Structure 1
Amino acid sequence: MVGPYRGLFDGPGVKGFVLAAFIGRMPMSMLGIGIVLLISALSGSYATAGAVAATTNVSFAVAAPLTGRLVDRFGQGRIIVPFASLNALALATLMLSAGLGLPQWTLYVSALLVGATSLSLGSMVRARWSALHGGSSRLHTAFAFESVADEVIFVTGPALVTILATEINPYAGLTVALVCMLGGSLALAAQRRTQPPVQSSRGGGGTPILIPGIALLACVYLGLGTVFGSVDLITVAFAEEHGVKGAAGLLLAAFAGGSMVSGLWFGSRHWRISLRGRFLRALVVFVAGLTPIMFIGDTFVMAGALFLAGLAISPTLITGFSLTERLVPPSLLTEGMAWISTSIGFGVALGAWAGGRLTEAVGASSAYVLPLAAAALAAVVGAGGSGLLRLPEAASPAET
């Protein structure tokens, strides 16, 4: 399994941009729960805390493609520095507004700015990998590594921010998130050597979402985001229903852990199946993996089931980003990948909202029908439109 990853980080500047991007995107798993913990601790209102966190998520989902377009047009370095600085200022303003007890509208305005200025560093680091290994089988391995890195962040980030906010100070979690974001982002911006070159857009530009294959992927990932958002919320309710609310973190870590393991394995393989075929198979496996969780009433068994269900996450994300890299012109690559992140973000918000309502209506175990239905719909849409994902036969090694 280790073989294909050996030498992946040996190029000039590779270790630097990988480490900087990892640190810089730690807040993506810390921000939402950090806001909830801070505002609920200071105001006593989970409703307000959740609404402010949701404002940040939706604002980011809307702004990410626009930010990606600016990055493609002007280069990463010229966009990262001002956006990261504004993001740090907005997050500090949010914390001060909460701490000083300012009117609620200040919380929402600050949260809106936090989301709008957040950077999709995951898209940017994948664009750097594409500039290094585009058209090579190395790109598949690099995207697999980034998927695993994302899962490590989602396993460790929430636990870290919770410990900081509850054991040290309500502000501590968001403060660490701010420092990680600013330090990692500025370090990434400083590494111009590995930055993808700015390429002029031929034919008047346009937007990647108008490419049929990208529009299809966006629809599929909207469904998968719904899975992620609903599973997170329903699993917390499931643990509480069974009297072990503290085990919710373990259950969600099992879900992400399955993705980590499969990502390492998936990236180590040299595939003969086409990229499109891998994507469709991963969707089917995801549906199959989610089916048993509707019928489980034991916490430990649920942990195992969620681990198995999570095995399909990384292969689905890896192949989706790889398809995006192949379908989008180089001059629009960062924006194209940002559209995938945006679709997932909207899906997470939708899944959390719908999952909460369904859980209150029918209970947690029955509510797991929502992520199963969302995954099944994503698979049907992906299979039905799979012709839009067909790549040229004279494919690069990354296709095989």
Structure 2
Amino acid sequence: MAGFVGRIPISMLGIGITLLVHSITGSFATAGAVSAIVSLAYAVAAPLSGRLVDRFGQARVLVPFVFVHGIALSGLMLLAHAHAPVWTLYASGALAGLSATSLGSMVRARWSHLLSNGDDTRGDSGKLHAAFSFESVADEVIFVTGPAFTAVLATSVNAYSGLIVAAVLTVVGTLAFSLLKSTEPPVVRHREQRGTPIAIPGVALLSAVMLAMGAVFGSVDIVTVAFAEEHGNKAAAGFLLACFSGGSMVSGLWYGARVWKITLRTRLVRGLVVFVAGLTPVLLMGNLGAMAVALFFAGLAISPTLITTFSLIERMVPAAQLTEGMAWLSTSIGFGVAVGAWAGGHLTDSYGPSNAYGFAYVCALLAMVVGVAGSSWLRTTVASETRS
């Protein structure tokens, strides 16, 4: 529960910053730029903070980082209120992003520790599969409810309220999470382990796949808003995006409840193929009702693919580098979302939203091609897994 509360703001910061900065400056370009800087700074810093966690422990890193993050967000709001120069908003946004931590990776690292066999081998794969599935569903609940909640606060209370609530939830949830010492993984030091997990071929492959999938998420968010506006009901964009995340949430529950007898490698390949197939009807929809149904089915492959990817990372990365290894996935998705949002916006302006969905489809195809072509890099890891 502490981890859930602490990472709710992941889905609130982008829209909260956009609404606040736009209300002050009147510029969507400036608002989008500040939001993008926060996302990119977080994407760059996540593996670095993950490495610090693996070296010093979760609590020793999370506590100072979350205080800096809270101060940076407060500074951003004060600077916006004071109509300070735009570069100060960029600077405070960058600091907020750099001090954000990948709490979801740390929650999963705790599950891996709790369900391990007490040594460096992996534990009950069935329970770990269920735990990772639960966390993926929790993430989807966050991404379904967070943006809508923030928008309601920002429009019905004041422009600052959404960001204030996000900052409070981050600090309270992260501090509560840090106090749970009984579940915190011990620091594992192996002198022979050097370098970074991204140097492992399988981790690099999965990061590339997540980069392409992140571009799908980022572009779909932007293009769907434009699609709803084009069809005369901009407010329907929230419902359409909720259908996209809702499909992922439903499939996550189904996927986590099943006992699987096929390897993680095979599950990943099948999930990527289904992801491409699910996105295909989105290219053909011409009204809001049909698009809602199409986006729901397009989202069905998201959770199973993400769950499988985190499970593969858990098996490939040494225990002493697990948090950093998982943080690379968050970084890849973050970069992908930023690229997808930028490309989706430009393509929508140039060719219209219906055609701009083609970018998301191409990115999904790219994820599938990379995942299938490089799946042999996952074979040695998966070959030794305990069938679940």
Q: TM-score range by the shorter chain?
A: over 0.9
| Cα distance in 1, alignment partners of residues 278 and 385 from structure 2 | 31
1:176 and 2:176 equivalent?
no
1:48 and 2:37 equivalent?
no
Mark the runs of 5 or more structure 2 residues left unpaired by the alignment.
117-122
| Cα distance in 2, alignment partners of residues 261 and 341 from structure 1 | 22
TM-score (norm 1): 0.94
| Cα distance in 2, alignment partners of residues 47 and 158 from structure 1 | 19
How far 1:330 sits from its partner (Å)? 0.3
Mark the runs of 5 or more structure 1 residues left unpaired by the alignment.
1-18
| Cα distance in 2, alignment partners of residues 118 and 224 from structure 1 | 22
1:64 and 2:46 equivalent?
yes
Indicate if the aligned counterparts of 2:315 and 2:381 stay in contact, CA closer than 8 A: no
Equivalent in the alignment of 1:326: 315
1:192 and 2:181 equivalent?
yes
Equivalent in the alignment of 2:141: 152
How far 1:204 sits from its partner (Å)? 4.2
Indicate if the aligned counterparts of 2:268 and 2:308 stay in contact, CA closer than 8 A: yes
Q: Percent identity?
A: 61
How far 1:201 sits from its partner (Å)? 2.8
| Cα distance in 2, alignment partners of residues 163 and 333 from structure 1 | 37
* Count of residue pairs the alignment pairs up: 381
| Cα distance in 1, alignment partners of residues 282 and 67 from structure 2 | 43
2:355 to 359, 363, 366: 366
RMSD, aligned α-carbons: 0.9
How far 1:313 sits from its partner (Å)? 0.3
1:162 and 2:151 equivalent?
yes
1:307 and 2:296 equivalent?
yes
Indicate if the aligned counterparts of 2:316 and 2:381 stay in contact, CA closer than 8 A: no
Equivalent in the alignment of 1:123: 105
Equivalent in the alignment of 1:26: 8
4+ runs deviating over 4 angstroms: none
Counterpart secondary structure, 2:235:
helix
| Cα distance in 2, alignment partners of residues 52 and 391 from structure 1 | 43
2:94 to 89, 101, 112: 112
| Cα distance in 1, alignment partners of residues 367 and 221 from structure 2 | 18
| Cα distance in 2, alignment partners of residues 47 and 55 from structure 1 | 12
How far 1:393 sits from its partner (Å)? 6.5
TM-score (norm 2): 0.97
Equivalent in the alignment of 2:119: none
1:292 to 281, 284, 294: 281
One-letter amino acid of the structure 2 residue matched with residue 116 of structure 1: L
Equivalent in the alignment of 1:267: 256
Change (3 A) 1:284 1:200: same
| Cα distance in 2, alignment partners of residues 167 and 205 from structure 1 | 51
What does the per-residue CA deviation read over 1:197-247, in whole Å, with 9 as the maximum and x for residues that have no partner? Answer: 100033142100000000000111100000000000000010011011000
Counterpart secondary structure, 2:192:
helix
Equivalent in the alignment of 2:120: none
| Cα distance in 2, alignment partners of residues 253 and 201 from structure 1 | 44
How far 1:391 sits from its partner (Å)? 3.7
How far 1:392 sits from its partner (Å)? 4.6
2:78 to 84, 92, 96: 96
Q: Which piece of structure 1 moves more, 106-115 or 358-367?
A: 358-367
What does the per-residue CA deviation read over 1:291-321, in whole Å, with 9 as the maximum and x for residues that have no partner? Answer: 0111100101100100000000000100000
Change (3 A) 1:281 1:22: same
Indicate if the aligned counterparts of 2:264 and 2:382 stay in contact, CA closer than 8 A: no
One-letter amino acid of the structure 1 residue matched with residue 168 of structure 2: V
